[in-house]
Chain A
Amino acid sequence: MNDVMLPWPRPRRSGTDNQDDHQADQAPDAPRYGIQRVDSPDTTGPVELLPIIRPPWSAASGRRGLLGAGIASSVAAALLLGGCDDGGSESPSSPSPSTSHPSSSPSASDSPTPTYEPPTTYEPPTPTYEPPTTYEPPTYDPPTYEAPDPTYGGGGGTICTCNKVCTCIPVCQAHRLLHPDPAVRRMAETVVLAMGPRELPYLRWAADGAAAPLNTRIEALMEQVRGGRRLVRDDLRDAGCERYLTSGDPVIAMMAAQVLTLRALWLGTGLSGVTADRAARALTVGRALHRERAPAWTPSD
C-alpha cells in the first residue's frame, strides 16, 4: 500500500524574487489519492469497514487508536439498506431479505438455537419460552412477510435520518423488556436506549399495546429516556448475545445484531465472519419488519 505519494511540498521560494520562474519544471509530482491506485494484487485482505471509535484529537499519538476492529461489509450494507427515510436513494436493486446473503447460512452446529432462515413468506415463530404467569406476552401479530417493494420508497416513513446508518430500528423490541430470558431483557433495554427520545412515538405505541406489567415497564423506561437516560458504553457489556442471532424470533435476532453492531461501533470490538453474516441477515429481516410495522406509530401526512 505504498503507491500513494505523500510528498512534503517543495520549500517556499527565497527572498523577494517576483520574476516569472519556471519552478514547474522542478516541481514534485502532485500527490494523487485516486482510489484506483489502491487496486493492486496485494489488497486481498478482509473486506471490512473500520469504525472510528473516537475523534482524532482523543486518539493517542496522532491518530493511533482511533480505529476499531473491522466490521464486515455485509453488516455495513445491511445497516444502510432502506427502512429509513430514503431521501431519493436510488436503490432499485436493493436485495430482499431472502436473497441478500445466499451463502451465509450458518450450520446448525454454529448455534445453540435453531437456525433462522428468513422465509419468503414469513411464518409466526414458535415461542421458545413459557411466559411466566405475571408476564403476558404482547399480542404479537407477525406480518405475512413478502419481499418489499424493490424501490423501498413506501413504508417506514422517516424514522431515522441520521446518516442512514441505523442501529436504532424500532420493530417491537420494547415488547421483549419482560422476556423471561434475562439476556433478551438486557438486549431489549439496550436497544430501546439506543433509539433514544426520537423513538418515543414508537414506545408510546408499544406501551399502549402491552398488557399491564409490560405497559408499566415500558412507561418506566420512557420516563427514564425523557429524563435524559441514554445509552452508555457500560450498557454494551457482553450480554452473550451472539447466540441469539439465529433465534427463531426475528425481533430477538435483530436485537442481538443491533447490540453486536453497537459494540463494534462504540467499543471497536469488530464484527466479521459467520457472526457478521448472521447479523447482516438479522438486520435485513428486521428492516423488513420495521417497514411493515412503522406506519402503526408513524403519523400519517
Chain B
Amino acid sequence: MNGTRDVFAIPLEDGAHLVYAPLHGVAFAATSGMVAALSAVLRGSEGGDQDVAALARETGLLRRPPSPVTRRRGTPTPTEVTLFLTTACNLRCTYCYASAGDAPATYMTMDVAKQGIDFVIDNARREGAPFAGVHYHGGGEPSVHWNLMTESLAYARERAGGLPVIAASAGNGVFTDRQIDWMIANLNGGMSLSFDGLPEAHDKHRPTVRGTGSSARVMHTMRRFTDADYPYAVRLTVTAEQIPLLPDSIEFVLSNFTPKRVQVEPAYQLGRHAGEPDAETEEFIAAYREAQGRAARFGHELIYSAARVGTLTNHFCGITQDNFCLSPAGNVSACFEAFSEDNEFADVFFYGSPGADGYTFDMDRLDRLRDLGVEHRSFCDGCFAKWNCAGDCYHKSLATNGRGEFTGSQRCHITRELVKDQLLTRIAGSGGLIWRDDHTGEPCGVHGGTNE
C-alpha cells in the first residue's frame, strides 16, 4: 500500500475535485463521493468500494511510485559550462532583471573562457559523456561580446577534437545578418530569443540604447531562423499593463514565425522593474489561459517555467545540480540571475573560483545549494504541484521572501492554476476520463485528441 501522501484532491468548481497523483502519473476529475471512496481504498480500509478498488488498481494508484528525488554528491565534475560573457547590452529593457547598462560593463576574457571550456571538456572525456556543452547567457547580451563568443566556441570545438560540442545561447534577437549566419551555422543547440509579441508591446519595453524600438530587428532574426529551419525558442515577458495584449501577442508570434517553444512569464519585480506594478495576478492567469487557447490552434502548448506536468523532479533548475556558470571575472555561479559577484545573493549562488589547476569549490556552500530541493521545503509539502514546479526559482523566492524559510509567493498561485489547466487539458486529450502519464504508441481514434 502506497499511502495517500502524494495523491491529491484539488477543488474544482461545483464541488468537483481533480484527483492528481503526480508520482503515479494519474489524474482525473471526480465527485466528492469518489474522492472519499478512493481515500478509503488507498488507506486499505476493509469493505472499500470494489469498483473504486479496481479503478485504483488499474490506474496504478496502489503501487509504490518511484521517488523523483536526486541529489548530487562529491566534487562537481560538470560537462557543460555557461559563459556570462558580458554585462553590456544594446537594449535598455524597462523590466531588465539585471539592470543591464546601468553600471559599467564588465567583459570576460578569452583566458577565463578557455579555463572553463578546458575544465568541462576534460570532465566530459573523463566521464565518458556523449558531448560537452558550451552555452552563453548572462546579465548582458552575449552577442555584444561577439569576438569572444565566436572565438570561444571555435576554441571549444578545436579543444574537444572528436567529442561533440553542443552550444546554445540566449539573446535579445538584435543581431546583424553576419551574426545570424554564424548562429545558424554554429549554435547547434538553438537560440532562445526574447520577443514580447505585438510589435507595439515589444517596443514599449525593449528599446535600444538609443530609445528606438527593437521589434523589427528581432522579427528579421526570427524570419531568418525560420527560413533556415533553425531551432529557436521565444520568451515573452508580460508586464502588468501588457497582460490584456498577451493573447494577441501569442497569436501574432505563432501566425508569423515558427518557434519550437513559446515561454510566457510575468515580469519579475527585480532590477529595473523593482517597484513596478505586479504582473503576477489573476488577470495574468486568465490572459494566459486565453493565450493557450490561441496557441492550441497552432499546435503549441505554452510554457510557464514552473508549471511542468510531465516533469517530475525535485530540482527547479540547475542551482541544485551543480550548474556551472562563469561570471566575467571567472568565478563559478549556479544561477543565471546571479551573474555578478555584486549580486544581492552572490553569497548564496557563487560557489567556486578559478585556481591554478582548475577550480576551487566551496563545498559547504555547494552542499547548501544541493539541499535546496523541494523535498526540503515545508511550505511545499502539501502542494500538488511540488514535483512539477520543484519549488520554483530560488533566486525569485529569495527576492520575494528574503532569506528566511520559503513561505510561498504569488507565483505559487499561478503555478497551481496552470498545472490544473495542464492536467485538465491532458485528461480531455486522453479521451476525457483519465490521464495516465505512460502513454505509448499511436493514439487511437477516440483518444487521439479529437475531443475538442
- A17's nearest neighbour on chain B, judged by CB, is B402
Q: Decide yes or no whether B207 CB sits under 8 A from chain A.
A: no
Of B49, B269, B421, B428, most buried by chain A (CB within 10 Å of CB) is: B428
CB contact list, A78-109 vs B, under 8 A: 79-81, 85, 87, 89-91, 93-95, 100
Contact of B32 among A38, A49, A90, A168 (CB under 8 A): A38
Q: Is the CB of B434 within 8 A of A163?
A: yes
Q: Is the CB of B57 within 8 A of A161?
A: no
Q: How many angstroms between the C-alpha atoms of A202 and B335 in the bound complex?
A: 55
Complex contacts, B33 vs chain A, CB 8 Å: 43-48
Complex contacts, A118 vs chain B, CB 8 Å: none
Q: Is the CB of A38 within 8 A of B445?
A: no
Q: Is the CB of B445 within 8 A of A94?
A: no
Complex contacts, B399 vs chain A, CB 8 Å: 12
Stretch among B88-96, B134-142, B159-167, B408-416 lining the A interface = B408-416
Q: Is the CB of B407 within 8 A of A10?
A: yes
Q: How many angstroms between the C-alpha atoms of A16 and B345 in the bound complex?
A: 12
Contact of A36 among B4, B30, B424, B444 (CB under 8 A): B4
Of B55, B416, B420, most buried by chain A (CB within 10 Å of CB) is: B55
Complex contacts, B451 vs chain A, CB 8 Å: 53-54, 265-266
Complex contacts, B38 vs chain A, CB 8 Å: 35
Q: A10-B407, A57-B421, A163-B447 are in contact. Are A34 and B382 (CB under 8 A)?
A: yes
CB contact list, A13-48 vs B, under 8 A: 13, 16-24, 27-28, 30-40, 42-48
Q: Is the CB of A50 within 8 A of B443?
A: no
Q: Is the CB of A94 within 8 A of B11?
A: no
- B8's nearest neighbour on chain A, judged by CB, is A33
Q: How many angstroms between the C-alpha atoms of A58 and B289 in the bound complex?
A: 9
Contacts beyond the supplied A30-B378, A47-B37: 5 A-B pairs with Cβ under 8 Å: A32-B382, A81-B58, A95-B54, A158-B441, A266-B451
Q: Is the CB of B58 within 8 A of A196?
A: no
- Contact code string B46-71 (vs A, CB < 8 Å = 1, else 0): 00011110110111101100000000
Q: Can you give 23 contacting A-B residue pairs, CB < 8 Å? A: A7-B408, A18-B344, A20-B404, A24-B404, A30-B382, A35-B38, A38-B39, A49-B34, A53-B428, A56-B421, A66-B428, A68-B432, A76-B433, A77-B54, A80-B55, A89-B58, A91-B57, A95-B54, A160-B444, A160-B447, A195-B445, A198-B445, A265-B433
Q: Is the CB of B410 within 8 A of A9?
A: yes
Q: Decide yes or no whether B126 CB sits under 8 A from chain A.
A: no
Complex contacts, A49 vs chain B, CB 8 Å: 28-31, 34, 433-434
Q: Is the CB of B7 within 8 A of A35?
A: yes
Complex contacts, A6 vs chain B, CB 8 Å: 11
Q: Is the CB of A52 within 8 A of B439?
A: no
Q: Decide yes or no whether A4 CB sits under 8 A from chain B.
A: yes
Q: A161-B441, A265-B451 are in contact. Are A67 and B16 (CB under 8 A)?
A: yes
Complex contacts, B354 vs chain A, CB 8 Å: none
Q: How many angstroms between the C-alpha atoms of A52 and B447 in the bound complex?
A: 13
How far is the CB of B266 from the nearest CB of chain A, in Å?
12
Interface residue tally of chain B, by bracket?
35 or more
Q: How many angstroms between the C-alpha atoms of A256 and B359 in the bound complex?
A: 70
How far is the CB of A26 from the nearest CB of chain B, in Å?
8
- B344's nearest neighbour on chain A, judged by CB, is A18
CB contact list, B390-420 vs A, under 8 A: 399-405, 407-410, 412-413, 416, 420
Complex contacts, B212 vs chain A, CB 8 Å: none
How far is the CB of A94 from the nearest CB of chain B, in Å?
7
Q: Decide yes or no whether B144 CB sits under 8 A from chain A.
A: no
Contact of A16 among B12, B274, B290 (CB under 8 A): B274
Q: A28-B408, A198-B444 are in contact. Are A37 and B9 (CB under 8 A)?
A: yes
- A21's nearest neighbour on chain B, judged by CB, is B402
Q: Is the CB of A55 within 8 A of B10?
A: no
CB contact list, B345-391 vs A, under 8 A: 345, 378-384
Q: Decide yes or no whether B231 CB sits under 8 A from chain A.
A: no
How far is the CB of A297 from the nearest CB of chain B, in Å?
15
Q: How many angstroms between the C-alpha atoms of A4 and B430 in the bound complex?
A: 27
Complex contacts, A253 vs chain B, CB 8 Å: none
Q: Decide yes or no whether A217 CB sits under 8 A from chain B.
A: no
Complex contacts, B378 vs chain A, CB 8 Å: 30
Complex contacts, B435 vs chain A, CB 8 Å: 163
Q: How many angstroms between the C-alpha atoms of A93 and B52 in the bound complex?
A: 13
Q: Is the CB of B10 within 8 A of A47?
A: no
How far is the CB of A99 from the nearest CB of chain B, in Å?
10
Q: How many angstroms between the C-alpha atoms of A165 and B59 in the bound complex?
A: 10
Q: Is the CB of A35 within 8 A of B35?
A: yes
Q: Decide yes or no whether A185 CB sits under 8 A from chain B.
A: no
Q: Is the CB of A30 within 8 A of B431?
A: no
Q: Is the CB of B34 within 8 A of A48?
A: yes
Q: Is the CB of A165 within 8 A of B433?
A: yes
- A90's nearest neighbour on chain B, judged by CB, is B63
Complex contacts, B62 vs chain A, CB 8 Å: 90
Q: A47-B31, A56-B425, A163-B435 are in contact. Are A1 and B15 (CB under 8 A)?
A: yes
- A194's nearest neighbour on chain B, judged by CB, is B446
Q: Is the CB of A74 within 8 A of B51?
A: yes
Complex contacts, A20 vs chain B, CB 8 Å: 402-404
